[in-house]
Structure 1
Amino acid sequence: MSGATERPVVAVRDLRIVFPTLDGEVTAVDGISFEVPAGGALGIVGESGSGKSAAALALLGLHRGSRARVSGEVEVAGVPVTTATDRRLRAMRGNDIAMVFQDPMSSLHPQYTIGNQLVEAYRVHRPNASSAEARARAVESLERVGIPNPARRVNSFPHEFSGGMRQRALIAMGLMCDPKVLLADEPTTALDVTVQAQILDLLDDLRRDLGMSLILVSHDLAVVAGSVDDVLVMQHGKIVERGDVRTVLAAPRHPYTRALLAAVPRVDVSRAQRRARVRAERAGGTARPARAGGAAGPGAPPAAVPPAPASAADPAADAATASGVEAPPDAPLLSVRNVRMRFTVRGGLLGRGTDFYAVDDVSFDLHRGETLGIVGESGSGKSTLARVILRLLRPTEGSVVFQGRDITRLPERRLRPLRRDMQIVFQNPYSSLNPRRPIGEAIGAGLRVQDSGIPPAEIRRRVGELLERVGLEPGHYNRFPHAFSGGQRQRIAIARALILRPKLVICDEPVSALDVSTQDQVLRLLDELQDDFNLTYIFVAHDLAVVRQVSDRVLVMKEGAVVESGDGDTVYTAPTHPYTRRLLASAPVLDPDEARRLRADRHRLARGA
């Protein structure tokens, strides 16, 4: 990967990282070697747990002082990282190599302005610089990464920036001392597609303009496709494939690389195409996900989920049912009409007592067994609309009719029977589960609330059956959330939503925190459950490729309003609104040449060409 005469700016030889555990040790990185030339770009790709982030941290010597055992050679800009003194390492970090972490909110101090944090990063390495010089450098760095009005925004706090602007500020901090290498570890995972495209474009521009090297760590091959020259694919701490990015993506040799490519959602694959492929795999006995603690047998029959019993707490309400009167069979399960949700902002940038509509005149129907995708950038109103449908928020105007009954103004006590029929799967499985509560109790909580007379043994039995149905073990009932991976936690969250046999499940960004292979497993699970139990989904996401592959119909939202709607194939193949076309143009693609062509198009649009 390096030139024949020029010394590489990063050289790693036989790097091995071992972490001690309670019952032995885990080899996170197992003898990897690679080089990055000056001005080059390398992508390191793999699932969560593949060792890519552990290897990245070793480039800055960040395992020093931990219990990790690091061996091998790591050299950055001529500095032998594994043997250098602590003082030399501190001098290297920021000067020779800088790191951009995944979550800017955990990297930026909330009580200090952006400018103060940039100035500190500069003066650590330039102690003789004056305050005025450091501040001017901070403004220049913010301008370099595209922050508007940098002389004013340098005084802003992190919470006053959007997610994309915070990531830009973090990149600006890394550039304060003009490092030779920028190491970006999952820098776009939590961002929507347009902001993700902006960050990737920015990193590419900076590499070209400043002549620095880039190491981009990601779980998604589509993210690195248009941003790097070479790629390493890691699995279980080892490099299983490496080479020029075009060659690796066009003709992958290793089965693991091919599996990663197959798991990447693509905007050119329709829901019908994906479902046909998944059903063919299921029929062949190859699609059942592995269960924690043991593999589910190929084609194993699903465990039945028992129907929810009548409520012992409110028999009158159940006798009438939450819907009041029985709706005709062909009637929509859900009708949303002219819904608006107004919030009042007091103070801040919008002015004192300013009203704005997070949801602005939204209408649609949803029938049983359908999946409606709702897509848009962060702040478009998607999640607010989902909470209005669930009546977690009462809309300012309009109506929400569920199972033939308008629930918009129902008092809370009359909403309770509806809660069993409308459930939600939240975005982050790490924060949606109580860390101090066994997962079996978390899943069974809905039964205990809705059916207070059901015996504990029956609750445990039903929870065990449902755990098995979502690919886990009934014996996991008493385990706590920290004992599970991210994908397993999301399966637990899905089981919790299904315990009451709901008719409607709202999935609010359910896979955005997961790597692509785990994401694919969760989407397959949702497909299977929909087929088996005739579930109706509302799937909220910013990832256009994911939305297309799960949705019958799609709503595109911008600034609270629906700007385009229709069946998924039409919206994706013949979009009519410029905003939809812009979203589609920002979606990552697996063809490096196509990715760079789209980047050039975005540059032309930005210049007004």
Structure 2
Amino acid sequence: MTALLSICGLSVVARLAGGDLRLLDDVDIDVDRGRIVGVVGESGSGKTTLARTVVGLLERNVDVEQGRVTLAGDEVVAPGVDRTDRVRGSAVGMVFQDASRSLNPLMKVGTQLAEVLRRHVRGITRAEVERRSVEVLAQMRITDPARVLGSYPHQLSGGLRQRVAIGLAVVTRPALVIADECTTALDVTTQTKVVGLFRTLVDELGIGLLFVTHDLMLASDLCDRIAVMSGGRVVEQGAADQVLDEPQQEYTRRLLAAIPSWS
């Protein structure tokens, strides 16, 4: 069966005045429908560059040197090829690290959801926009959707803002969602709720989720598979319990050893 997302031999370089800097080196990762793949590693390992490559949000001086990215078998990224504008926001949703920055502070939540729906769902009616906006906030386990729809982002708690950001990513019913360190700024209790929400969304909607995080324990709670990155390369990947219980690479063992123990 064709993977929902297939990243094959992907290498990405930054063109700098002093020469080229390789950001990703021959990366291979697949994400299937209804599955969660965690991409873990320390800062600078290439996790965010990978996520941004998939959705076509690279800086102007950053190029795909080799490899390709396919979505449901269709090529969207390759050297000299960028078809991400066709799928970003419709077939692929993105949740960023800081919800307060990804939400427009001058627009009410309802207006932002409506804008996304009108941009990506052809021919949608006003009634359908309203229905789906309420529906997606209910899916986010928001108990008072009407109040949130009429609120500005600054009027919401950090946890609610992050739920709204996730709602914006899934309101168009994409096949794939990419979450880039989206729980980092949250307290532990809220983080746990958001992780549970992702698991529910994947199970109920059958989407694929690429979950980028530096937190191995968080990945172990959520992900079906884990890819460990270091220096722009995937150094180890496999089933989550296999990678965490029987790590084969020294780098993975060092990451696990760095996790605080409270015993």
- Bucket of the pairwise TM-score, normalised by the shorter protein: over 0.9
Say which SS state the counterpart of residue 267 (structure 1) adopts.
coil
Deviations 1:72-104 (A, max 9, x none): 110012331125976x53231122111100000
The whole-number CA distance in structure 1 between the counterparts of 2:86 and 2:135 is 22
Say which SS state the counterpart of residue 9 (structure 2) adopts.
strand
Q: Is 1:259–2:254 an aligned residue pair? A: yes
- TM-score, length of structure 1 as denominator length: 0.42
- Residue type of the alignment partner of 1:167: Q
Q: Which has the larger radius of gyration?
A: 1
Residue 72 of structure 1 corresponds to 67
Instruction: Give the Å deviation of 1:267.
Output: 3.1
- Percent identity, aligned pairs only, is 39
Instruction: Give the Å deviation of 1:24.
Output: 1.6
Structure 1 residues 85 and 114: alpha-carbon distance in aligned structure 2, compared to 1, 3 A threshold = farther
Instruction: Give the Å deviation of 1:14.
Output: 0.7
Residue 12 of structure 2 contacts residue 63 of structure 2 at CA under 8 Å; is this kept in 1? yes
Q: Is 1:164–2:159 an aligned residue pair? A: yes
- Residue type of the alignment partner of 1:247: Q
The whole-number CA distance in structure 1 between the counterparts of 2:246 and 2:149 is 46
Say which SS state the counterpart of residue 95 (structure 1) adopts.
coil
Alignment of 1:165-314 (within 5 A): 165-268=160-263
Alignment of 1:148-547 (within 5 A): 148-268=143-263
Residue 13 of structure 1 contacts residue 73 of structure 1 at CA under 8 Å; is this kept in 2? yes
Q: Is 1:7–2:5 an aligned residue pair? A: no
Residue 108 of structure 2 contacts residue 153 of structure 2 at CA under 8 Å; is this kept in 1? yes
Whose RCO is larger (CA < 8 A, sep 6+)? 2
Q: Is 1:26–2:24 an aligned residue pair? A: no
- Greater strand share, 1 or 2? 2
- Residue type of the alignment partner of 2:85: R
The whole-number CA distance in structure 2 between the counterparts of 1:73 and 1:89 is 12
Q: Is 1:89–2:84 an aligned residue pair? A: yes
Instruction: Give the Å deviation of 1:131.
Output: 2.2
Deviations 1:573-603 (A, max 9, x none): xxxxxxxxxxxxxxxxxxxxxxxxxxxxxxx
Deviations 1:268-326 (A, max 9, x none): 3xxxxxxxxxxxxxxxxxxxxxxxxxxxxxxxxxxxxxxxxxxxxxxxxxxxxxxxxxx
Query: How many residues are treated as equivalent by the alignment?
Result: 261
The whole-number CA distance in structure 1 between the counterparts of 2:147 and 2:81 is 39
- Residue type of the alignment partner of 2:111: N
The whole-number CA distance in structure 1 between the counterparts of 2:152 and 2:182 is 20
The whole-number CA distance in structure 1 between the counterparts of 2:184 and 2:132 is 28
Residue 92 of structure 2 contacts residue 176 of structure 2 at CA under 8 Å; is this kept in 1? yes
Alignment of 1:41-60 (within 5 A): 41-60=36-55
Deviations 1:465-501 (A, max 9, x none): xxxxxxxxxxxxxxxxxxxxxxxxxxxxxxxxxxxxx
Instruction: Give the Å deviation of 1:43.
Output: 0.5
Matching residue within 120, 123, 130 for 2:118? 123
Deviations 1:105-155 (A, max 9, x none): 110010000111111111111231122321221111111101121022101
Deviations 1:213-268 (A, max 9, x none): 11110011011101111111000001111111101111111111111111112333
The whole-number CA distance in structure 2 between the counterparts of 1:228 and 1:95 is 24
Residue 139 of structure 1 corresponds to 134
Q: Is 1:107–2:106 an aligned residue pair? A: no
* CA RMSD of superposed structures (Å): 1.5
The whole-number CA distance in structure 1 between the counterparts of 2:63 and 2:176 is 25
The whole-number CA distance in structure 2 between the counterparts of 1:126 and 1:252 is 44
The whole-number CA distance in structure 2 between the counterparts of 1:89 and 1:53 is 16
The whole-number CA distance in structure 2 between the counterparts of 1:37 and 1:127 is 27
Gaps of 5+ in 1: 1-5, 269-609
Residue 226 of structure 2 contacts residue 237 of structure 2 at CA under 8 Å; is this kept in 1? yes
Residue 77 of structure 1 contacts residue 180 of structure 1 at CA under 8 Å; is this kept in 2? no
Residue 224 of structure 2 contacts residue 239 of structure 2 at CA under 8 Å; is this kept in 1? yes
The whole-number CA distance in structure 2 between the counterparts of 1:267 and 1:208 is 32
Say which SS state the counterpart of residue 77 (structure 2) adopts.
coil
The whole-number CA distance in structure 2 between the counterparts of 1:85 and 1:145 is 35
Instruction: Give the Å deviation of 1:177.
Output: 1.1
Say which SS state the counterpart of residue 50 (structure 1) adopts.
coil
Say which SS state the counterpart of residue 80 (structure 1) adopts.
strand
- Residue type of the alignment partner of 1:110: P
Residue 39 of structure 2 contacts residue 227 of structure 2 at CA under 8 Å; is this kept in 1? yes
Gaps of 5+ in 2: none
Instruction: Give the Å deviation of 1:39.
Output: 1.3
Instruction: Give the Å deviation of 1:41.
Output: 1.1
Instruction: Give the Å deviation of 1:21.
Output: 2.4
- TM-score, length of structure 2 as denominator length: 0.95
Structure 1 residues 230 and 157: alpha-carbon distance in aligned structure 2, compared to 1, 3 A threshold = same
Residue 54 of structure 2 contacts residue 84 of structure 2 at CA under 8 Å; is this kept in 1? no
The whole-number CA distance in structure 2 between the counterparts of 1:94 and 1:78 is 18
- Residue type of the alignment partner of 1:197: T
Deviations 1:401-438 (A, max 9, x none): xxxxxxxxxxxxxxxxxxxxxxxxxxxxxxxxxxxxxx
